[in-house]
Structure 1
Amino acid sequence: MARLCFPVLVQLVLLIAGVAGGPWQEFLRPQSDVDNDVVGTRWAVLIAGSKGFENYRHQADVCHAYQILKKGGLKDENIVVFMYDDIANNSANPRPGVIINHPNGSDVYAGVPKDYTGNDVNVNNFLAVLLGDKSALTGGSGKVVDSSQDDHIFVYYTDHGGPGVLGMPTLGESLFASDLVATLEKKHAAGTYRSLVFYVESCESGSMFEGLLPANISIYATTASNATEDSWATYCPGGGQGEAPPPEFMTCLGDLYSVSWMEDSDAHNLRNESFELQYDNVRNRTLSWSHVMQYGDLGLNAQTLDLFMGSSDPANHSATVGSTDNLLMQLSSAVHVHQRDADLLYFWHKYRRSSDGMSEEARKELLGVMAHRSRVDKGIERIGGILFGTEAGPQFLTAVRPTGWPLVDDWDCLKSMVRAFEEQCGLLGQYGMKHTRAFANMCNAGVGPIAMPNLASKACAASTPPSF
């Protein structure tokens, strides 16, 4: 009878420990999880891939993420930050030198390392940092992920994106999914990490890994949306009490997926929450707007957050994000805006609030953004019409491949297509990245990049910039 009772007693103790918390949890946890620094080092790469005050939220997201990691015990020497750094001291910032990521939040900008700013936020430097390749850097602090086989790496990327692509602040430069995954595979082949977790905030962010990220290289990724849908900005002007930013702000303060995982991290003891639980929490919060996804080695989602983010008491975060008592309620009812429309919202509010002397300039700014969108859309539409006819063109260019397939078979073709189009029609920009699926579908149908200059020339010649 004693043998039968012993397992029951153990289960009872475990249950009590799990509910009650306190020292029992540390006693019962395997020693390797109590102090994860015993084996390996935690590294982090944080990148905001945009610039401009209309994109305030991306740098606010990155600054908030830094504060979480810093309070978790990560050292600055192990955290690499990419941000254009044109927000905190921007003339449009109603709180000079301060960035917030929550309507009731305080400054998240203080203390953030400026490793790569301005034009040093680029694809080459980002991939070189991941690989730990100092020789490939061009500018910046020179800090890289100089990791070893026992280390754990956390990467967080927030920006605009499109099918198979993530943005960068330098116009005309983008990070393609094939290059990102190839870099991750190279990192694995070098044997310079034990496990890596990658969080991505952008429209169609699932397409960065769908059909591409292997499940056997110890990398776990989650994304703000699947391969075909937008992600969302949040804490935007126009929301109700507790939802909108302070009235002096004309821009969104955060992104829905991003503030979901960060506020979840703020509200929990990171030693007690797994990536799987955080994934479920974030997915449930964002389900009405986008479908949060996970890719790669799903076995890694059983790891606790502290293995990558460090461990800290949730109470320590109250000054950063405000009260956490009503986070779920606030987030579920907050005003959300498509990532690609958040800039329009900013320019619209800027125009509405402008004084008589500035109203014409603000009006031109707003109309310029709208005109660019129209020119890109019409150029792509005309190319589809030339290739497949006006009826079938739109359907062909927006067709989605089956789940589990990569966006395109020939990524070099896709890159060449985009470059050729931009040479004739102008840069796609953060809005136009949504059309990379159209170029991918052309490549998949056998339309080569050689044909694009002539197609784009015909399509865009009819599009003339409007006069304001």
Structure 2
Amino acid sequence: MSSLGYFQILVFLYAFLVFSAESRKTQLQNNNYDTESSEDGAKGTRWAVLIAGSKEFYNYRHQADICHAYQILRKGGLKDENIIVFMYDDIAFSPENPRPGVIINRPDGDDVYNGVLKDYTGEAVNVKNFLNVILGNESGVTGGSGRVLKSGPHDHVFIYYADHGAPGLLGMPDDEDILLAKDFIQVLEKMHQHKRYKKMVIYVEACEAGSMFEGLLKKNLNILAVTASNANESSYGTYCGVTYPPPPPEYDGNCLGDAFSVSWLEDSDLHDMSKETLKQQYQVVRRRIGSDAESEMRSHVSRFGTEELLKDYLVSYIGTNPENENFTSNGFISSPMFNSSLVNTRDIPLLYLKKKIEKSPMDSPQRQEAQKKLLDEINHRKQIDESITEILRLSIKQNNVLNLLTSTRSTGKALVDDWDCFKTMITSFQKYCGAKVDYGLKYTRALANICNMGVDMKQTVSAIEQACSIK
């Protein structure tokens, strides 16, 4: 045999050994997090909690995001017994769904709903259940499967929350049921105190999502939080009827996903997660959503907590699909999304109703109903806008109050100091003004600013009642 032939054989054997070693490495990484913790702590279990905090068909994207995440975790090697899913489950079989029993998360996407095991649906999707589930408190949950996190000191926990948000809070299907940042942080600290995890990663898709952690999440808890937006801005929907690429025609007017969510989900669909770190995915997602130069039309993916976790490989939290072992970055699209592909999430209900009117026959009951809902929504928003200004004026006895609507605290400082005051203001705003998380509660920063000024709570509650009764 010629020397060239021997050389080719050696090259082949070397390539084979490298491939085998990499495959074995991926298998070992998955196995190490598929096995209950050993005596010496060398192994741990990966746990995940996925929650879509909204309902109704115009919020299609949140449940689509969560179902997509479930498929990634299952393909990545996580077991159903270690994944807990919260979703209202009113989308797949909604009369408005053009593909009954199917949910997609991108225009050419596969069905992500098929096979999803849902633990908490309908009214069981609430703050009380969510907090008790992550605490591992079985006696505290009502309805649903009753399953809770049974994680321990050697385990890795991944929490993914997709919903509407506002400064200092995240929503739930019941508009009056909100998750306050302070309450969430206190539960995370309690989990750390009780050694319910070794490391934890939290992804949050919501407007003003950064306010859930800014100035609140300590760096020594071994928790990394990545948010779709900073503390002061909206997040964005994508794959909507007016965006490029558009969804299939039958979905026109609805958003199939959220910009942050589809960015990390599609990245995970393609990459070998045993070779991609949290930092690398963070950079890919941040780059895809857009640069600081486009701040008016972009949200800014942000991170909080223990930044050392950025060095960890994603396989430790979401697993890795064996089919992606030979992935190369050639052709992977991570360039910024076009502005035309994004819709401010607070405008999505209006887009949905406008498209519904366009698609309905003239003088049909469906068209008339959609027109009425759109007019009611526009009028309600106008009343909320006027009411918040009047609330501020009555509370601080000044006419020049517009700065309180946008005034933000310095970077690294929590939204509010007195969270009891903040909660009282929100409850009153909801009760007397009908403020909801998808629009009205965007003004919670102004309510926080009132609390930070030390204004008397009773006086402010009276101002809220007075301002909204006028309307």
In the aligned structure 2, how far is the partner of 1:211 from the partner of 1:333?
Answer: 31
Q: Is the 8 A contact 1:244 1:334 kept in 2?
A: no
1:25-62, Cα deviation, whole Å (9 max, x unpaired) = 45778966874335111100000111111100000000
What is the aligned length? 438
Aligned to 1:300: 309
1:295-350, Cα deviation, whole Å (9 max, x unpaired) = 1010011110010111213559x9xxxxx956436945761101111111111101
Q: Is the 8 A contact 2:104 2:110 kept in 1?
A: yes
Aligned to 1:93: 97
1:425-445, Cα deviation, whole Å (9 max, x unpaired) = 223342112111011000000
Aligned to 2:456: 448
In the aligned structure 1, how far is the partner of 2:306 from the partner of 2:18?
Answer: 29
Q: Is the 8 A contact 1:172 1:427 kept in 2?
A: no
Cα deviation for residue 238 of structure 1 reads 1.8
Q: Match of 1:172, as an amino acid?
A: E
Aligned to 1:313: 322
The one of 342, 347, 360 equivalent to 1:341 is 347
Cα distance change, pair 190–449 in 1 and its aligned pair in 2 (3 A): same
In the aligned structure 1, how far is the partner of 2:340 from the partner of 2:247?
Answer: 10
Identical amino acids, percent of aligned pairs: 49
Cα distance change, pair 269–315 in 1 and its aligned pair in 2 (3 A): closer
Cα deviation for residue 453 of structure 1 reads 2.8
In the alignment, structure 1 segments of 5+ residues that lack a partner are 1-15, 319-323, 464-468
The one of 403, 414, 433 equivalent to 2:441 is 433
Superposition pairs of residues 69-468 of structure 1, within 5 angstroms: 69-240=73-244, 243-249=245-251, 250-287=253-290, 288=294, 289-314=298-323, 327-328=333-334, 331-332=337-338, 335-355=341-361, 356-357=363-364, 358-388=366-396, 391-463=399-471
Aligned to 2:39: none
Cα distance change, pair 235–93 in 1 and its aligned pair in 2 (3 A): same
In the aligned structure 2, how far is the partner of 1:225 from the partner of 1:142?
Answer: 32
Q: Is the 8 A contact 1:131 1:187 kept in 2?
A: yes
In the aligned structure 1, how far is the partner of 2:27 from the partner of 2:359?
Answer: 58
Q: Is the 8 A contact 1:127 1:180 kept in 2?
A: yes
Cα deviation for residue 392 of structure 1 reads 2.3
In the aligned structure 2, how far is the partner of 1:36 from the partner of 1:145?
Answer: 15
Cα deviation for residue 113 of structure 1 reads 1.2
Cα deviation for residue 450 of structure 1 reads 1.4
Q: Match of 1:411, as an amino acid?
A: W
Q: Is the 8 A contact 1:222 1:295 kept in 2?
A: yes
1:259-280, Cα deviation, whole Å (9 max, x unpaired) = 0000011110010000010001
Q: Secondary structure at the match of 1:192?
A: coil
In the aligned structure 1, how far is the partner of 2:136 from the partner of 2:157?
Answer: 12
1:327-384, Cα deviation, whole Å (9 max, x unpaired) = 4369457611011111111111011111231211110011122122112111111112
Q: Secondary structure at the match of 1:430?
A: coil
Q: Is the 8 A contact 2:240 2:247 kept in 1?
A: yes
Q: Is the 8 A contact 2:52 2:161 kept in 1?
A: yes
Q: Is the 8 A contact 2:30 2:77 kept in 1?
A: no
Q: Is the 8 A contact 1:266 1:314 kept in 2?
A: no
Q: Match of 1:74, as an amino acid?
A: L
Superposition pairs of residues 6-85 of structure 1, within 5 angstroms: 22-25=19-22, 35-38=32-35, 39-85=43-89
Aligned to 2:6: none
In the aligned structure 1, how far is the partner of 2:403 from the partner of 2:429?
Answer: 20
Q: Match of 1:191, as an amino acid?
A: K
In the aligned structure 1, how far is the partner of 2:375 from the partner of 2:339?
Answer: 31
In the aligned structure 2, how far is the partner of 1:27 from the partner of 1:63?
Answer: 29
In the aligned structure 1, how far is the partner of 2:176 from the partner of 2:307?
Answer: 34
Moved more, 122-131 or 348-357: 348-357
Q: Is the 8 A contact 2:200 2:223 kept in 1?
A: yes
Q: Match of 1:244, as an amino acid?
A: P
Q: Match of 1:300, as an amino acid?
A: L
Moved more, 441-450 or 195-204: 441-450
TM-score by length of 2: 0.88
Q: Secondary structure at the match of 1:408?
A: coil
In the aligned structure 1, how far is the partner of 2:394 from the partner of 2:336?
Answer: 48
1:372-404, Cα deviation, whole Å (9 max, x unpaired) = 211211111111222346652110232100000
Q: Is the 8 A contact 2:224 2:306 kept in 1?
A: yes
Q: Match of 1:455, as an amino acid?
A: A
Moved more, 46-55 or 361-370: 361-370
Q: Secondary structure at the match of 1:328?
A: coil
TM-score by length of 1: 0.89
Aligned to 1:3: none
Cα deviation for residue 192 of structure 1 reads 1.4
Moved more, 368-377 or 259-268: 368-377
Q: Is the 8 A contact 1:384 1:393 kept in 2?
A: yes
Q: Is the 8 A contact 2:254 2:352 kept in 1?
A: yes
